[in-house]
Amino acid sequence: MIVYKYIAEALFYAFVVLTFMGGFMAIRSRLLMHAVLGLAISLFGVAGLYFYLGSPFLTMMQILIYVGAVCIIIVLGVMLGNTPDQLAIKNITRRNLLLALLACSTGFVALFVATISRTEFVPATQKVGDMSIRFIGESLLFQYCLAFELISVILLTAIIGSIILARGGREGKVS
């Protein structure tokens, strides 16, 4: 039975590697389509991490919403936007690299060293409810009803807003 634990651990490493490789591919590739592919791979890895955090529901939602919807929207944007090649090539300038490395290293060091290693996280003494879908559904409909309604209002506003924004034809185009 200990073998199953090792297999689960190896799968965890695989999901972590998937996440980071996808992220690296998304930020370092020159073609935007490869960047979107890297984003999809990375989001798939994060979905696996959600499974290890004990929530199969969020795993499915992550694959459905992020990999299925958001990545497809971004692919549509890439195909409609038609970024020229020279813009993609001049992506990596020396100033940009320097700024990016500076921003990342400071953020990472601040987060990694100062907070995580010194803080003692105390688990809750008693838990109410469990991680089941039934409990999430009941909480969404009774206790966190406002959040549920806000999500729907935000999505409706986004649909209407994006239709209005992208509706106008090509008559306003600067040639």
Residues 109-168 close enough to bind another protein by CB under 8 A: 111-112, 116, 121-131, 135-136, 139-140, 144, 147, 150-151, 154-155, 157-159, 161-163, 165-166, 168
* Closest CB 1 distance from another protein, rounded Å: 14
Nearer to another protein, 1 or 123 (CB): 123
Type of residue at 26: A
CA distance linking residue 60 with residue 45, whole number of Å: 12
Contact 21, 39 (CB under 8 A): no
Contact assessment for residue 44 and residue 22, using Cβ atoms and an 8 Å cutoff: yes
Q: Total number of residues binding another protein (CB under 8 A)?
A: 93
Q: Using CB under 8 A, which of 7, 14, 104, 114 touches another protein?
A: 104
Gyration radius from the chain CA atoms: 21
Tell me if 7 contacts another protein by CB under 8 A: no
Position among 7, 14, 76, 141 found at the interface with another protein (CB under 8 A) = 76
Question: How many Å apart are CA 60 and CA 63, to the nearest integer?
Answer: 5
